[in-house]
Structure 1
């Protein structure tokens, strides 16, 4: 399972790097039932950190880092994600805590994707 998680992390890191110019520095992922839950650390670019110094800037960066990524996934999951997981992608729930530069993404699939009865994790 850890190889699958490592490959999953690479897919989401690559997409976020393409969208925002910087991917997360570290990702911790667990698979439970029909969900893949990823905690992403070190997401923000220096420009986003600068913009987020004002309340208006925080709202703008938060919107870009949550709604924009959800819109991308609403159109289609990244290439190879469904094949890797072995299930159809249904929806992404995402949020970011700007002051700590931590994001969480919950990927919902159409069926259980656990290979074993417990949690698996992988970080990089």
Structure 2
């Protein structure tokens, strides 16, 4: 029995975040709805970021830096091709945000076609 696509997608998100951000989220869950993949990530912040968010300026800095960094990561062709190979369809758009207080990030991948679940 093979892994399901949601799990494989979540592991790819973790791998990419670790490679480009330096740490990956502690928990990830991904759901596919039509041509969307929605990944919810908990436990994203580093110890330095947790210290920084104790001030309003720190919260703004961490939120802005994390949000911009994630969007830049997913513009890289070598990153996109990994998701496209896994799902069998092209990434056309990405939305990402981070709730600093709850340490929860959401990324919505929009694909050209509906993502077909792999049969176990």
TM-score range, shorter chain: 0.7 to 0.9
Q: If the length of structure 1 is used for normalisation, what is the TM-score?
A: 0.85
Whose relative contact order is higher, 1 or 2, with alpha carbons under 8 Å and at least 6 apart? 1
RMSD: 1.8
- Residue in structure 2 matched with residue 121 of structure 1 by the alignment: none
Q: Could you tell me how far apart the structure 1 residues matched to 2:106 and 2:98 are?
A: 6
CA shift in 2, pair 1:42/1:76, >3 Å: same
Matched residues in 2 for 1:49 and 1:9: separation? 24
Helix, strand or coil: the match of 1:29? strand
1:108 maps onto 2:105 in alignment:
no
Equivalence map 1:1-124=2 (5 Å) = 3-76=4-77, 78=79, 79-115=81-117
Contact 2:7 2:29 (C-alpha < 8 Å) held by counterparts: no
**Alignment TM-score, normalising by the size of structure 2:** 0.88
- Number of residues paired by the alignment? 116
Unaligned runs of 5+ in 2: none
